[in-house]
Chains A and B, each alone.
Chain A
Amino acid sequence: EAAVTQSPRSKVAVTGGKVTLSCHQTNNHDYMYWYRQDTGHGLRLIHYSYVADSTEKGDIPDGYKASRPSQENFSLILELASLSQTAVYFCASSDWGGAGQDTQYFGPGTRLLVL
């Protein structure tokens, strides 16, 4: 069974502060992703990575940075947290066997509240 863990599981941050969300996978997967989930929306892709030391912008990257220091770890960084970034954040990983071939495995999510 694929294993993706996230830390912290919940966090309260102040506006303008820096927030780092961490993700760790033990699946030996190449791809990792960060999504956010808001009420009334599905998941939206923020950043993703297909190899260590490289990240790519997703559909809503503004206000976020990402870091992939190793194959197992992928962080999401909010340099200046804002109220609009209150959401649940999910990390996911997948292998690469060709387009459409691989399932994404999701972590438990991090609930972020920015005050």
Chain B
Amino acid sequence: AQSVDQPDAHVTLSEGASLELRCSYSYSAAPYLFWYVQYPGQSLQFLLKYITGDTVVKGTKGFEAEFRKSNSSFNLKKSPAHWSDSAKYFCALEGTGGNNKLTFGQGTVLSVIP
């Protein structure tokens, strides 16, 4: 079985601060990991993914994420944060068994105060 946990339901910070959204996963093999963002009233948009290789991956909109096998985490980071980053962020895992099936975390609502 595979699972994804985003322990912070809400994160609030001031514009200009550094943001880090937490994601941990459980999977018996090497996972493929994704971050998606959902702006208010919109659908999900792809931000970045980790497949293999470098542990820090860069994505769109200035985001990056660090894969840490030692503690099964894939945290999303950005510095500085902008008010337009306010959205709901989802971490997702695709097992290496194929078929592109994604398992999503619960999501973290990020509020960036101008």
- The reply to whether chain A is a binding partner of chain B is yes
Query: Which A residues have a C-beta under 8 Å from some C-beta of B?
Result: 31, 33, 35, 40-45, 48, 50, 56, 58-59, 90, 92, 94, 96, 99-109
**CB-contact partner of A45 in B6, B34, B98, B101, under 8 A:** B101
The answer to whether B46 and A104 have CB atoms under 8 Å apart is yes
**CB-contact partner of B94 in A35, A58, A99, under 8 A:** A99
Query: Which B residues have a C-beta under 8 Å from some C-beta of A?
Result: 4, 6, 9, 32, 34, 36, 42-46, 49, 51, 90, 92, 94-107
For the complex, give the distance between the alpha carbons of A7 and B27 in Å: 35
Given known pairs A42-B90, A108-B42, the reply for A99 and B97 (CB within 8 Å) is yes
With contacts defined as CB atoms under 8 Å apart, how many contacts are there between chain A and chain B in the complex?
67
- Most central of A45, A103, A107 by chain B CB within 10 Å: A103
- Most central of B44, B45, B90, B97 by chain A CB within 10 Å: B44
The answer to whether A42 and B104 have CB atoms under 8 Å apart is yes
Contacts of A44 in B (CB 8 A): 104
**CB-contact partner of B101 in A42, A58, A108, A109, under 8 A:** A58
For the complex, give the distance between the alpha carbons of A22 and B94 in Å: 25
Closest residue on chain A to residue B48 by CB atoms: A103
